[in-house]
Homo-oligomer: A and B are copies of this chain.
């Protein structure tokens, strides 16, 4: 179903992290000179993963951590019979591969939804990061805690919500996160995936996901077509989702 294809590797050691277009955004915390220098040396490559490829695969060993510079993807786990659960969507600024910091065996996969650009950091230098840059180490922990919080909210929505509530929650969640990454505004954003992805993220069948989305459209709350989401009733969406996860800024970026 999801073929694992090796990612294109681009030698790009000439990283000018201080001029990183992502880091320059106001949403991210400013690093000190010493920290920027460390990050630049920490980064060993910049790779591109094409849409549909699997840069990180469950069960495999990875010696690297990645920061998403651009593009969309998703983290997921599969069952032997093919069912899969999308754990969350991946956007610029996210740190990947931390989950298994000691052992390097991955316990989930990551698939690219669009072409993704990733900064590559060798895992074996994470120790030096913790030893020499406690501020960056706290950033790593902050990112892990943020991830955990998102999973908590996810679990609440999936465990307790009806289909209507789950879909509202997911759309709002994605909109707020995209906002934080400069990818949304004016109630509009790109959704570079299919209804099947929404179904797999929320534990719903494709058919029921479709019917629930149609209902949101007929209620004139949110319309999704041709890969673009338009939210007309943000307040009503929040009321249905019972949760408005506005992101905190400034947030760390490795």
Q: List residues of A whose CB falls within 8 A of some B CB.
A: 75, 77, 79-80, 83-85, 87, 98-103, 107-108, 126-127, 130-131, 134-135, 137-138, 140-142, 144-145, 147-149, 151-156, 158-160, 201-203, 242, 248
Contacts and interface: CB of A to CB of B under 8 A. Distances in A.
Contacts of A102: 142
B145 A79 contact: no
Contacts of A159: 85, 158, 201-203
Given A141-B137, A142-B101, A155-B85, A242 B149 contact: no
Nearest to A252: B102
B79 A156 contact: yes
Nearest to A251: B102
B155 A154 contact: yes
Contacts of A201: 159
A79 to B, nearest CB: 5
Given A127-B134, A160-B84, A151 B145 contact: no
Nearest to A103: B248
Contacts of A108: 152
B101 A152 contact: no
Given A101-B142, A144-B145, 15 more contacts: A77-B156, A85-B155, A85-B160, A87-B155, A101-B138, A101-B141, A103-B248, A127-B138, A130-B141, A137-B137, A137-B141, A140-B141, A148-B151, A151-B152, A155-B155
Contacts of A130: 130, 134-135, 137-138, 141
A137 B135 CA distance: 11
B145 A100 contact: yes
A61 to B, nearest CB: 15
B155 A151 contact: yes
Nearest to A165: B79
A128 B108 CA distance: 33
A135 B151 CA distance: 26
Contact of A83 (B98, B134, B160): B160
A87 B152 contact: yes
Contacts of A107: 149, 152
B98 A145 contact: yes
